[in-house]
Amino acid sequence: MSLIFLATAPAMAWVSVGSSPGFGTCTYTSIQDALDDGDTEIRILDNQDFVENVTISGSRSLRGGFSSCLAAALNQQLGSNATIDGSGSNLLPTVFVTTSSTASVTLENLTIIGGSVGVHTGGMDGALTVRDSLIGSNSGFSYGGGISVGNPGDLLQVIIRNSSIIENQSDYGGGIYCASANGLIRLESGAIADNFGAVDGGGVYLDNGCAFSSYAGSRFDDVLYSGILRNMTAGDGGGIYAAGGATVNINGHFGPYQLWGNNTDPATVAENSAGSDGGGIYAVGSETQVELLDALVRDNTADNRGGGAYVGSTASLTADLSGDTCWDGWRCSQWLDNSADGGGAHYGGHLAAYDGASVQLSRTHMGGGRAALGTALYASGLFTQLALDGSFLTGNGLASPGNDENYVIGVNAGASAELKHVTVSGNQSSAAALGANGTTSELTIRNSIVWHPTLPVLAATNSPVTTFDCVVVNENGSTGAGGVEVANPAFRNTVAGDYRLGAGSPAIDFCAGSDATASDVEHHSRGIDEPGSSNGAGLFDAGADEYLMVDALFSDRFAE
């Protein structure tokens, strides 16, 4: 009896794909051929487009950026991205990961275009890393245009580093789609931009407990392509759509062990638009959570409700600054120039909260908001809770003939709003600074400043419950005399948009303690006794700022 051995070529540590006559010989001419032979590291040349729909199984690394076969042999990754073009069969993903076991897949220095979806992870679990790459111009798949996270059997981490997901289209999640509790997506640096969701979720669509975090952004988005930018949807969630217990973290600071992120740029959600609700962010459903730290939410628009964000159906949103040095001095958490002013209901320029939602905005600046009701904020519906702590609302609204922007903050239909150590000043509205409607609606303001010399402080209709406690105001005819003090708060420099307290302000050492955040936007501890100030009810300053003479003198000299 004779034995016959069938020899197969062993998988190599690395192989090259492409052709460069005169500059070495590559191992393959097709990416799929290299994958089918089991090679784990595939180095791809940049001098041609590979028109393929690639299927990956197991742990693999696809690396572009090699100008020749010789450069690939020397591992000199100095060229431009290698292009994988799935348009040869654009009903299929350009890159499809079929593995159902734990795997590690890296896509590096690649341009992935032309498929029904750029990258589809199938049932993969493990880690997918997209590094120094572009995923763009993919369309045709209903669930995710750039990246679609399938249904991993175990945890799947998708890490996006220095990469752009741009100009993709899908029904749900033009840029990214994820509807699995086992999905964890992290945008460390780069952009999700200019994508379109025909139904919901222009940039990112999240459901069923998927977790998404972004550390990407810049205050100079027109120069540096970074963050969640200029995405659009015909429905809800221009930038991000989150439902079904999904979690969203927008973090403008270092990640764990400073492995990603930074303290010099904000995490950005900017210039996104929605044909219905939530221009920047849309969050609904029990256990759906959105957290923003050191974030910049700006220039987002919604036709109906919540230009910056819409939060509804018992979802929650929090915004605050971190304890780190941040990207903009004492303005580390900002919402700027968001609007709800399309053809719909026009509620909540920066944010609208509905139907049992919970919103906590701490040490945050809000300016430039536009909407008919609640140029900055609007809350409606039983059990809806809006809480502001240590925050500034300035420069919102634009009151002019024919422009019906009624309130800076509106509370309606059984919602409650509580303001603690908040400064509301320098805004424009046609009716009042604050509006409350309905017998079950509640508006509580403590240790705060509401200063609008040309406007009533409050417009209350249908007997809402309103409470004022240690509030500096411009008039008390609308509020009643209890709990308020009519006095000019003497801000530091309103022309420059600085609504911190100036020397001699009657708001200094004016109030008793509260359960507000222990420090203000400058990390000054509250309740500091300022020498020379006559104490009112206690040592706590009214408004968002806790005055310190040394800092005030320094900032005045710096302004000169």
Contact 106, 139 (CB under 8 A): no
Q: Provide the 3-class DSSP secondary structure of residue 48.
A: coil
Q: How far apart are CA 452 and CA 499, in angstroms?
A: 13
Q: What pLDDT sits at residue 275?
A: 96
* Residue 555 belongs to a domain: no
* Residue 383 belongs to a domain: yes
Residues, the chain = 560
* Residue 448 belongs to a domain: yes
How far are the Cα atoms of 60, 103, 253 from residue 224, in angstroms, in the given order?
31, 33, 17
* Residue 342 belongs to a domain: yes
Spatial neighbors of 473 by CB under 8 A, at least 6 apart, are 449, 450, 451, 457, 479, 484, 485, 486
3-state secondary structure string across 459-514: EEECCCEEEEEEEEECCCCCCCCCCEEECCCCEEEHHHCEEEECCCCCCCCCECCC
How many separate domains does the chain show? 1
How far are the Cα atoms of 276, 346, 401 from residue 303, in angstroms, in the given order?
5, 7, 21
Coarse DSSP helix, strand, coil percentages of the chain, rounded to the nearest 5 percent: 5, 40, 55
* Residue 515 belongs to a domain: no
* Residue 510 belongs to a domain: no
Question: Position of tokens 């930038």?
Answer: 239
Distance of CA 402 to the CA centre of its chain: 33
Contact 313, 286 (CB under 8 A): yes
For residue 256, give both structure tokens. Answer: 């764990």
- Of the candidates 295, 384, 396, the one whose C-alpha atom is nearest the C-alpha of residue 339 is 396
Q: What pLDDT sits at residue 77?
A: 97
Residue 278 DSSP code: -
* Residue 74 belongs to a domain: yes
- Sign of the CA dihedral with 239 first, then 214, 223, and 393 last: positive
Q: How many CA atoms lie within 13 A of 219 on its CB side?
A: 16
Q: What pLDDT sits at residue 3?
A: 41
Stated pTM of the model? 0.95
Q: What pLDDT sits at residue 344?
A: 59
- Which stretches of the chain drop beneath a pLDDT of 50? 1-8, 401-402, 553-554, 556-560
Q: Provide the 3-class DSSP secondary structure of residue 417.
A: strand
Q: How far apart are CA 183 and CA 200, in angstroms?
A: 19
Spatial neighbors of 45 by CB under 8 A, at least 6 apart, are 16, 17, 18, 19, 20, 26, 64, 66, 67, 68, 69, 72, 79, 82
Q: What pLDDT sits at residue 400?
A: 53
* Residue 530 belongs to a domain: no
Q: Provide the 3-class DSSP secondary structure of residue 422.
A: coil
- Of the candidates 304, 313, 284, 395, the one whose C-alpha atom is nearest the C-alpha of residue 348 is 304
Domain that holds residue 288: 47-491
Question: Position of tokens 């958490």?
Answer: 333
Q: What pLDDT sits at residue 5?
A: 36
